[in-house]
Every structure is written in C-alpha cells, then in structure tokens.
Amino acid sequence: MSKIERDILLTEVALRDGSHAIAHQYTVEQVTRAAKALGEAGVPYIEVSHGDGLGGSTLQYGLSHTDEMKLIEAAVSASGDSKIAVLVLPGIGTVAEMKQAASLGVKMARVGTHVTEADVSAQHIQKAKELGLETVGFLMMSHMAPVEKLVEQAKRMESYGADAVYMFDSAGALLPDQVRERVRALRENVGVDIGFHGHNNLSLAMANTLAAIEEGAKRIDGSIRCLGAGAGNTQTEVLIAVLDHLGIRTGIDLYRIMDVAEEVIAPLLQVPQEITRDNLVLGYAGVYSSFLLHAKRASQRFGVDSRDILIELGRRNVVGGQEDMIVDVAAELAGLRQG
C-alpha cells in the first residue's frame, strides 16, 4: 500500500457484494476497467470474488458468468497500488481456492461466518496467515446475536490470528444505537482493528457507518454507486465526501471516485440501486441481503408475494447458506394459499 496517511481503511466491495445485484454476471472487461479506475482513485482495498465468496458459483448460490479466478487475476493486474481482497466463507470456499487466489496476487483474505459460528473459521484464518495474507474475520448477520455473544465470537477470530474483525449488518437491520453499542463493546474487548460493513435496506447504512467510526471502527466497507446485495451498502463516493467534511483521512480522491461511480459503475447497474419494497422488507425482517433475487424468482415461480417469503424467512431465522429454504418456504406458502 502506498504511504498515504489514512485514518480509515476502506475496502470497496462492489466487485464482490455487487455481484449479487447483477446475478454474478461480471466479465473480465468490466472488472479490469473498474479495478483500474478504483486504483487510480486511491482505494486501498478492492474485494473481488463471487458474491458468496470463493467457490460460490453453484446452482444454490448462483452461477457466475466468468470464472472468479480470471476476474481476480484481471483485478490484480489492473489495480495499481490497490490491494485485491477475496471473501472466503468456510463450507463454501476451500483452502485450495484460497491458495490459488494468493498465487494470483491477492493480498487479503476476508473470512466470514455466521455471527455465532466463529469456530469454523479457525482453519481458514490460520491458513491465510501462513500464506502471508492480511487476514480479516467477519461476523455476519450480527443483529442476530446479543452483544456478549458478538464479543465472544470476535475474540475467537482474534485468537486464530485475524488482523481485524468486522461486524456485518448483513440484513441492514441494525439501528445506529445498536451499532454504537456493538462497536464500543468490540473496541473495549478485542485487541485488533474493528471493522463495519453495512447494508442500506432501512436507509441507515451511512448513519450506521458514521456511528461505527465514531465508536472507533478503523476499517469500513463501501460499495460505489451503492452496488451491493439488497439495497446495497454504504455508498463509497458519498462516504468519502462526508468523511472529507469531517476531516477524516481516507487517501481517496473525491473527484476521481465520483467519476468512477458515474462513468464506470453506473452503466453496470441493471436497475437503479434503490430501496424497493422487497429491499425494505429485508431490513425489516432481518433477512440476509443476498436472498433478494432468490426470493423474487421463487415469488414468480410459485405465485406468492415475495414479501411474504422474506417475512417468513425472517421468522424462521434463516441465514446465509440456507438458500434452499427460500424455495421450500415459497412452496409452503403457495400450498397454504391453495388450501
């Protein structure tokens, strides 16, 4: 990384989380152009992989248009001083795939688990460190556990060797005071950097991100043009402008990141990234943001309201990795309606 003074380290996730929004259809040309532009804007980290991380291209999670290793290789070659990161979800991504990504020039592994299942990350975190990768632990769906459990799980990831631990508001369900409470507890009990990843399903991604920063989070995720699962993530170019007003250094060129958003990323959006009724229900019901497209497809297939599907998934506390339940729930709701 270049020797730019930064108070906050930002990871751009549109080339990973944004994959959900475009049904994992990124091409080498698109990723090359985006990574080059983001690098020129001074973004320190750029995450590239299938939306569900390495190995995610499956029937259950959605098939990729292009082999993710080709996308990673393209991003590494185009990104200049920016470092390329990958997401790894134990049970989906394997150590072998992580080794392959490292051999292509990836510099960071972001290892994610459900908020109560940090123990399954031990092998992946330790192997990432052996590979010489900067290693980050993710606790996803963090609204689903009390603060004490979140801290306990974060300390486990720290003990495995994680250089930082993130809390993920994967459903965009948290309110600012809840973010404050969680980040404060993590800062008081965990010795490594704390990060925050927000979703905008309740229109609170920016407010939640600022709350996290005020409580001491040093690593933040953003998605340029808000390109991410559900209603997207904290919008990168807007966040850079806000932090600039606050005198918080990111090392990212504001005009350039605006240009990237307008000229490079906006043309990739299949539909405007906005808070639709389904996105709103994701946050309201506390449902994993990447379930959105799956729920829409199940809605069309079974002739039931996608909102009813999402509400029922939230009632059952369904989490990432249980995408097959979306079809089951839709079929059950259709059967009840017929009955």
Residues annotated as part of the active site: 20
Q: Which two tokens stand for residue 336?
A: 């009840």
- CATH no., domain 277-338: 1.10.8.60
The dihedral through the CA atoms of 35, 38, 42, 48 has a sign that is negative
User: How far is Cα 39 from Cα 28, in angstroms, rounded to an integer?
Assistant: 16
C-beta separation of 166 from 158 below 8 A: no
Kindly report whether the global pTM for this prediction surpasses the value 0.75: yes
pLDDT at 121 over 50: yes
pLDDT digits (tens, 9 = 90+) for 274-286: 899 988 999 998 8
- CATH no., domain 9-268: 3.20.20.70
- Whether 124 has a binding-site annotation, put simply, is no
C-beta separation of 132 from 103 below 8 A: no
All CATH 1.10.8.60 domain ranges in the chain, comma separated: 277-338
Average the pLDDT over 79-97 and give the result. 95
- Whether 19 has a binding-site annotation, put simply, is no
Average the pLDDT over 64-85 and give the result. 96
User: How far is Cα 124 from Cα 126, in angstroms, rounded to an integer?
Assistant: 5
Average the pLDDT over 120-139 and give the result. 97
Q: Determine the pLDDT at residue 217.
A: 98
pLDDT band at 210 (very low <50, low <70, confident <90, very high): very high
User: How far is Cα 61 from Cα 284, in angstroms, rounded to an integer?
Assistant: 23
pLDDT digits (tens, 9 = 90+) for 31-44: 999 999 999 999 99
- Whether 170 has a binding-site annotation, put simply, is yes
C-beta separation of 292 from 20 below 8 A: yes
Q: Determine the pLDDT at residue 338.
A: 56
Q: Determine the pLDDT at residue 63.
A: 84
Closest to 115 measured CA to CA, from 159, 148, 164, 160 = 148
All CATH 3.20.20.70 domain ranges in the chain, comma separated: 9-268
pLDDT digits (tens, 9 = 90+) for 137-189: 999 999 999 999 999 999 999 999 999 999 999 999 999 999 999 999 999 99
User: How far is Cα 54 from Cα 35, in angstroms, rounded to an integer?
Assistant: 18
Around Cβ 59, how many Cβ atoms within 10 Å? 8
pLDDT at 1 over 50: no
Q: Which two tokens stand for residue 107?
A: 């510099």
